[in-house]
Amino acid sequence: MTPDSIIFNGAKFQTSEVKLTFYSRTNKFRGGTRILFISILYFSILAVILTSPVYTIFFNYMFFIYFPWGVSFLYFLYYIYVNYIMEYVIVEFGTSKVKLFKVNNKKNYDLINSIKDRSFSVVYVEIGKGFRID
């Protein structure tokens, strides 16, 4: 592999064809702080729900109705965490797009930095500033 090309899925791309888009937050939650924030949010909402007398009465008889709602709620928190709190990079190789997370992953971090050094198109986007992520 030459220094001016990158191989992805067996195809060779010139560095001019590779585009990087960095997505980050303005309030810059970092690794452990993000996990702490999500944990506090989750456990506070869970405590309110589970200590409600009406919920505990119905929970004994309607477990199979409330359990899917609980799973849906956990997925909702995961969706918020991944799309609005975590920092990530979208790497475009021609028409293919790869989403790489930067949090606590040295391999991805090194890969992103090496592509960033070679790429000509690097864009920084702040999440929550009117951008929609698909």
Please report the pLDDT score of residue 93 as a whole number. 72
Cα 109 to Cα 37, 49, 101: the distances in Å are: 23, 39, 8
Which residues on neighbouring strands pair with residue 124, listed in sequence order? 22
**Averaged pLDDT in 10-residue chunks for the chain of 134 residues:** 61 71 61 70 75 64 70 80 72 73 63 68 54 37
d(CA 134, CA 132): 7
- CA dist., res. 78 & res. 97, Å (int): 21
* 3-state SS assignment for residue 20: strand
Q: Which tokens is 33 given?
A: 């702080």
Quote the pTM value. Answer: 0.45
**What residue spans define the domains of the chain?**
5-28+86-127, 31-84
- Residue 132: the pLDDT is 39
pLDDT at 1: 44
